């Protein structure tokens, strides 16, 4: 395979893989009931996921903080309504959800 072909196939993989990953993460949020209180672009019971992404943009500590919040719950960052703990969601799934939310 010459260089140009190689570059084209990498590009093709990226074009196919990126939207699929986004859908998979949204399905994960759906499967874990996150979407009962959150939407990507509007406030429901909880803050919109894209507003969460905007708030923590460039914050290197955000991923750990948000993973902890998803697992253990909490309140006071966005208002008085508490986010319930999610002990049944695996750490790997939480990491995927955090990456997805922060990417929005
Ligand atoms: C019963 C409603 C409810 C469910 C279900 C829920 N959330 Fe939340 N979430 C909230 C509320 C309310 C807040 C705001 C908490 C606060 O002000 O500190 C919040 C905040 C957050 C935040 C921002 C935390 C912060 O400190 O800025 C993230 C990220 C988040 N939720 C992700 C999730 C994910 C992922 C799930 C699914 C595993 C989920 N939420 C399920 C209600 C919910």
Mean predicted confidence (pLDDT) in 26-33: 94
Q: Whose CA is nearest to atom 32 of ligand 1?
A: 70
Which residue range is the domain that position 71 belongs to?
3-103
- For residue 44, what is the DSSP state? S
pLDDT single digits (tens) 37-55? 999 999 999 999 999 999 9
Mean predicted confidence (pLDDT) in 78-101: 96
Return the CATH number at 55: 1.10.760.10
pLDDT at 19: 64
Tally the domains of the chain: 1
pLDDT at 6: 78
The rounded mean pLDDT for the chain is 90
The pTM assigned to this predicted structure is 0.85
Q: Where are the alpha helices (DSSP H) in 1-104?
A: 3-31, 49-56, 62-72, 91-103
Instruction: Tell me the best of 31, 35, 38 to mutate to test the pocket of ligand 1, counting ligand atoms within 8 Å of each CB and taking the most.
Output: 38
Statement: residue 9 has pLDDT above 90: no
């Amino acid at each position: 395979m010459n260089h140009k072909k190689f570059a084209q196939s990498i590009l093709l993989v990226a074009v196919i893989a990126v939207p699929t990953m986004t859908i998979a993460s949204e399905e994960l949020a759906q499967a874990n009931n996150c979407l009962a209180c959150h939407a990507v672009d509007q406030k429901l019971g909880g803050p919109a996921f894209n507003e969460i992404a905007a708030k923590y943009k460039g914050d290197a500590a955000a991923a750990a903080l948000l993973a902890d919040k998803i697992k253990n719950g909490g309140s006071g960052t966005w208002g008085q309504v508490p986010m319930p703990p999610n002990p049944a969601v695996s750490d790997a799934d939480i990491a995927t959800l955090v990456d997805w939310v922060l990417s929005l």
